[in-house]
Amino acid sequence: MHVIREWRDAGDLINYSDNQNSRLSRKNLASRLDFPFETGCRAIDASGERASATLVMLTRNSELDNVVSSMRSIERHFNQWFGYPWTFLNDEEFSALFREEVQKHTKSKVEFGTVPAENWNFPTDVDKETLDEYIQSQGDREVLYGNIESYHKMCRFYSGHFYDHPLVQKRDWYWRVEPDVQLFCDLTYDPFVEMAKHNKKYGFNVVLEELYYTIPSLFLETKTFIAANGIKLKSAWDIVVNQYQTLVDKTGFSYFNWKNHDDLRQQVQRNLILNRILKQESKTDKDLAKIQKFKNARNVFKDAYKMPGLMLDMIHDEEYNLCHFWSNFEIARTDLFLLQTYQDYFKHLERVGGFYKERWGDAPVHSLAVAMILSKEELHYFRDIGYQHSSLGHCPNNAPGKQLPYVSGGFDDYAPELWYSIFLRGSQPDAPVKNGIGCRCECPRGFKSIEDTSSVCVKRYAQVLSDDYTPFRAIEMEALQAQVEKEIDEYLAAGGTLGDADQFPKSEKRMPFVRGQ
């Protein structure tokens, strides 16, 4: 008997207070703002409406085998039913062999384009010797891909000129595909049509942390751009930043390294109590003994000498948490990156030279821009799509009671040899699992999903999109102190003493926030 999953199964939701990696792949991440377009399989509508969209790949002639591998996987699991055109881009002309070979692996229209030299190469005003020096330095410091000039060019192209190409710009939507990717599940609905129907503008499949030393100044330059242009940030910004508030109380004590509201209240409490003890006139040995008895006093002095925590990129009480959408899988509106705000953002990044002085990837650039420009409900996590590129990927569990038999859309006619590793002859989709959402998924044996191996950013996305998420609110320090002072007075009036305040009862009062937030 199949287990029927309700859209919110309370016993399997995420515990956001748990900082440890957990089996997120077994959790229900759906919310009212973002949920799978289809749980399990949908009966395919081959005659349904189609969007203005293309599958687009930037590649080289030398990558032909990996290109074909990607095509066969995507055709088998999706495009044999929906027939979207393929667009191939290269900074050189495609060979006749390349053109002929890729056409064999799809029934759809195929277009080939060349990237203009001025869009691929760095601006002519960048000194070549200086550029080489920066790139060599990154190699010496072992920055991942930092010593490969073509990699820098690719990241710059995808960040700023990918959308300028006429073969991309003429479509409303694109699905970015890389050479050597595999899908693990059947996608039986049209993602472009569903994105439009649900007012989504940017879709991703993997979200993870970036390597800090590839982008040490990117957040600073992003914040500089935001301030200089008066950008009003949208709600998606919460996904990519950790927000803090440095508070100073009436005694002049600064509160910076507080973890949560309870921790802050306890710090205020102990400092106000200690301040009362120290302000007592005509202290006796008995009074001084109160300080020795008050264990929290030692914490105050210890904190005074403690080095502050390292904030790699703290600017105006915000820190980039390094979460980024892995841009080698993107399903998005083309005009998102043609917006003037994005174009100006790219020009700013270009001007400061981070695409060669550092190894800025297009993924963190896209992610910060998307978070800056979009509301969180305009994002979509394609969690139901099983996907792998290089050693990383995601593979969902199959949905109980929502599986349908595979029906060929013609793939077997134009690609009869199912030679690649995912769907070998005689293989079967994985057994459905509670909270599963996939359609006919077959995850490789031993495969570990990014949701289970590096869950920090998946959890952050799910938390910000969750139904009960509360955005960061600034605390009114004067009101908080008044609350705590009153609680201390009530504690003393009830017979408590300052020296016994380690047992001070936990406050039941709400945290006072700055009005208007």
Strands 173-176 and 53-58: parallel
Question: Annotated catalytic sites, by residue?
Answer: 330
Q: Where are the alpha helices (DSSP H) in 205-360?
A: 218-229, 261-279, 285-293, 296-305, 340-352, 354-357
CA angle 89, 93, 95 (to 5 degrees): 105
Given CA atoms 231, 233, 239, 241 in this order, what sign does their dihedral have? positive
The residue among 513, 477, 508, 510 whose CA lies nearest residue 490 is 508
The residue among 173, 204, 237, 233 whose CA lies nearest residue 385 is 204
- Beta strands, E only, 355-451: 379-381, 387-389, 392-394
DSSP designation for 438: B
Cβ atoms of residues 255 and 475 within 8 Å: no
Cβ atoms of residues 70 and 180 within 8 Å: yes
Phi, psi of 207 (to 5 degrees): -130, 130
Count, residues in the chain: 517
Strands 387-389 and 254-255: unpaired
Cβ atoms of residues 25 and 388 within 8 Å: no
**Longest pairwise C-alpha distance within the chain:** 97
Q: Which residues pair with 398 in a beta bridge?
A: 438
The residue among 41, 69, 26 whose CA lies nearest residue 186 is 41
C-alpha–C-alpha distance, residues 284 and 207, integer Å: 60
CA angle 309, 311, 312 (to 5 degrees): 140
The residue among 379, 328, 331 whose CA lies nearest residue 53 is 331
The gap between the terminal CA atoms of the chain, to the nearest Å, is 49
Q: Where are the alpha helices (DSSP H) in 239-339?
A: 261-279, 285-293, 296-305
Orientation angle between helical segments 96-103 and 64-74, nearest 10 degrees: 20
C-alpha–C-alpha distance, residues 94 and 101, integer Å: 11
